[in-house]
Amino acid sequence: MTASPVAPDKTTQSPPPPRDEAYERKLLSRGRRGRFDVKVSPYLYISPFFLLFLVTGLFPLIYTAWIATRQWNTSTGDAGWAICGKLCDSTDPSWLGNFQWVLHQPDFWLALRNSFSIFLLSTIPQIICALILAAILDANLKAKTFWRMGVLLPYVIAPSAAGIIFSQVFSDNFGVINTILDGIGLEPVQWHASQLASHVAIATIVNFRWTGYNTLILLAAMQAIPRDVFEAAVVDGAGRVRQFLSVTIPMLRPTLIFVIITSTIGGLQIFDEPQMFGNTGTPGGPDKHYLTVSLYLWDLGFNRTTIGQPNLGRAAAVAWLLFIIVVVIAILNFLITRRIASTSGAPTKKKKSAKKELAR
């Protein structure tokens, strides 16, 4: 996932600069050349982003849609419309061919299930832990910076490196976890060979890296809550838990939405951790217990060595399917989070109406 620091309130649109004539006049205070300067500069300043986005974002986006409809191998290049083939009893070339082919693959569905399972196992505990940790760090601790730095330390370990390390920590035979389990008389867990256990292990790697990061993001937002709100709650007789549920959580709403959405987008695209967790050449392990959609995409498009592959067209189809899934889940998440975070006190509506009034 890309770095995404402190959670600014995405839901609020920024107000436009003042339209008053005085401001305009002052911006224009230099005659003809100044006028040109004022008119063109804003576009000039935003152009690097848009130019780069055009080349590395928008064009590839459209291009992917095109490739997804084609029979496109790395060796032969574009070879016409996609053909689904025997799988769906059709040898007719059609733009849907790759999508049909992918949707007929048991591996795709397996990968989708695995991605969801790992995503749920990582996101939910991660955000709960981050909230609790942030609440602890929000208190008036001694050596604040030390604790905060300690919590953030895993963030500087690359996910791929963490994947290799945890692959050993969770090694089936001689990993430290299994040795300890064995030592206290418990059955060792088959961390790589069992589906659920491998998901737990991979989720642990994700949680290792992102919990501290999310903690600090949430903590930053928590610290922005005015202290007198808490004091008022205390005077009204609210205990700590009540304060947390009725004051902290609703006040964190925008940040919470941001954290949940970014972990959703990142979580469903997980690649580094499962790839590094595996010890064998097969992506997702010999039984594909931890094959995720991103791993599957990579395998289809870039990794296969058998004849006729890698097939970039099919990989592009997987990319589009993944995109649709991510967007749907992100929207669902947004709606749910908004509900949860606004149940108590409903500050949302008030805020919105206040803003409307301001706008008038």
Partner 1 sequence: MSSNQVSVAALRQYGGNGVANAAARRRKLGVTSEGRRPGWVSYAILTVVILVSVFPLYYAVSIASQADTSTQYGVEALRLGPALFRNLGAAFDELDFWHALGGTVLVSTLCAVSTVLFSTLAGYSFAKLQFRGRGPLLFFVIATMAIPTQLAVVPLWLMMSKIHLFGSLWAVIIPALVTAFGVFWMTQYLEGALPYELIEAARVDGASMIRTFWNIAVPAARPAAAMLFLFTFVAQWTNYYWPMLILGSNQKAVLTTAAAALRASRFTDYTLIMSGVVLTAFPLVLLFFFMGRQLVSGIMAGAVKG
Q: Closer to partner 1 at the Cβ: 106 or 237?
A: 237
Q: How far is the CB of 27 from partner 1 (least distance, A)?
A: 5
* Peptide bond connecting 8 to the previous residue in cis, omega within 30 degrees of 0: no
Q: How far is the CB of 189 from partner 1 (least distance, A)?
A: 15
CB 325 within 8 A of CB 112: yes
Q: How far is the CB of 193 from partner 1 (least distance, A)?
A: 17
Of the residues 32, 184, 235, 305, which one makes contact with partner 1 according to CB under 8 A: 235
196 near partner 1 (CB under 8 A): no
Quick one: which H or E segment has residue 85? strand 83-85
267 near partner 1 (CB under 8 A): no
Q: Closer to partner 1 at the Cβ: 89 or 185?
A: 185
CA angle in degrees (0–180, nearest 5) for 10-12-15:
125
Hey, what are 34's tokens? Answer: 């100044």
Three-state DSSP at 80 gives strand
Binding residues for partner 1 restricted to 34-53, rule: CB under 8 A: 34, 37-39, 41-43, 45-46, 48-50, 52-53
- Residue 129, Cβ neighbours under 10 Å: how many? 15
282 near partner 1 (CB under 8 A): no
Binding residues for partner 1 restricted to 153-192, rule: CB under 8 A: 153-162, 164-166, 168-169, 171, 173-176, 179-180, 183
Rounded Cα gap, residues 96 and 214, in angstroms? 40
Beta bridge partners of 77: 73
Stretch that binds partner 1, among 90-98, 113-121, 135-143, 340-348 (CB under 8 A): 135-143
116 near partner 1 (CB under 8 A): no
Rounded Cα gap, residues 65 and 316, in angstroms? 7
Of the residues 59, 336, 343, 353, which one makes contact with partner 1 according to CB under 8 A: 59
The owner of tokens 């030390």 is 146
CB 250 within 8 A of CB 342: yes
Of the residues 90, 96, 124, 323, which one makes contact with partner 1 according to CB under 8 A: 323
* Alpha-carbon torsion (12, 17, 19, 22), positive or negative: positive
237 near partner 1 (CB under 8 A): yes
CB 291 within 8 A of CB 114: yes
227 near partner 1 (CB under 8 A): yes
23 near partner 1 (CB under 8 A): yes
Of the residues 80, 91, 193, 239, which one makes contact with partner 1 according to CB under 8 A: 239
